[in-house]
Copies of this chain bind each other. A is one copy, B any other.
């Protein structure tokens, strides 16, 4: 039984479209002491989205009637709501100033993850188009630049139903499975564990937030000492299919 360490990876750069995030983070990781075999690197969605050109200029967005009406209730910018609706494949709740959608990736979250914090004025930032692909590309870049291919998790801050406050969760993963499935294992009394699946990628993303959020300068963190389950990667196994949605 050994410690797990969460190591911040500071990088002061304000990322922009076309930046080679893998190269910048490989440099930042080296400055933070370098990667080791078995490391997990958690990269914040904001850095990924900015490099992938997911900033949208609000003056280019023409809000629909639906967006305008909701924005009035919510006291929000109708153009941001319009972007959120465009990123959605399903509206889960749209009332009382709150817009909760399912995004085309399958995430259920507020405003389809469209965000204006730490974004230049007059712009909003969308989630990466395919965060699993982003994670896989970053993993390949780390391998190329450092010789080590860590597990890569892309993280974002999501709310949790019935609770106040957000926590960081995984929205993309490469190099390991995001979930530990204890079904069929037995407990210390020999009883079969019935339904224990642990979303460890979400716990890793949340742990990384403890060091990335408290300063603006850390777009990533290394988690050292924790072995995720082998697997093909991909976030899909963490997402409950709409057919099983209890909260329609």
Q: Are A163 and B203 also in contact (CB < 8 A) when A6-B4, A7-B3 are?
A: no
Alpha-carbon gap, A121 to B189, bound state (A): 7
Instruction: Digitize A187-203: 1 where CB-to-B-CB distance is under 8 Å, 0 elsewhere.
Output: 11101011011111011
Within 8 A of B (CB), among A39-86: none
Binds B, one of A19-27, A129-137, A204-212: A204-212
Q: Taking the nearest CB of chain B, how far is it from the CB of A58, in angstroms? A: 13
Q: Taking the nearest CB of chain B, how far is it from the CB of A17, in angstroms? A: 17
Copies of this chain present: 2
Instruction: Digitize A148-163: 1 where CB-to-B-CB distance is under 8 Å, 0 elsewhere.
Output: 0000000001001111
Instruction: Digitize A99-126: 1 where CB-to-B-CB distance is under 8 Å, 0 elsewhere.
Output: 0101000011000000011111100000
Alpha-carbon gap, A99 to B207, bound state (A): 29
The residue on B at minimum CB distance from A109 is B162
Chain B residues with Cβ under 8 A from A179's Cβ? 164-165
Centre residue among A107, A179, A202 by max chain B CB count within 10 A = A202
Q: Is A146 engaged at the interface, CB distance under 8 Å to the other chain? A: no
Q: Are A202 and B4 in contact (CB under 8 A)?
A: no
Alpha-carbon gap, A119 to B192, bound state (A): 11
A interface residue count range (under 10 / 10 to 19 / 20 to 34 / 35 or more) = 35 or more
Q: Are A164 and B8 in contact (CB under 8 A)?
A: no
The residue on B at minimum CB distance from A168 is B203
Chain B residues with Cβ under 8 A from A198's Cβ? 157, 165-167, 209, 213
Q: Are B167 and A100 in contact (CB under 8 A)?
A: no
Alpha-carbon gap, A152 to B213, bound state (A): 22
Instruction: Digitize A221-244: 1 where CB-to-B-CB distance is under 8 Å, 0 elsewhere.
Output: 000001000000000011110000
Q: Which of B1, B121, B162, B197 contacts A247 (CB 8 A)?
A: B162
Chain B residues with Cβ under 8 A from A161's Cβ? 108, 160-162, 246-247
Q: Is A98 engaged at the interface, CB distance under 8 Å to the other chain? A: yes
Chain B residues with Cβ under 8 A from A217's Cβ? 1
Q: List 30 A-B contacts (CB under 8 A).
A: A1-B218, A3-B6, A4-B6, A5-B6, A93-B247, A100-B246, A107-B162, A117-B187, A117-B191, A118-B187, A118-B188, A118-B189, A121-B189, A157-B198, A162-B239, A163-B202, A163-B240, A164-B179, A164-B197, A165-B197, A165-B199, A166-B197, A167-B199, A167-B202, A200-B209, A202-B206, A203-B209, A203-B210, A204-B210, A207-B207
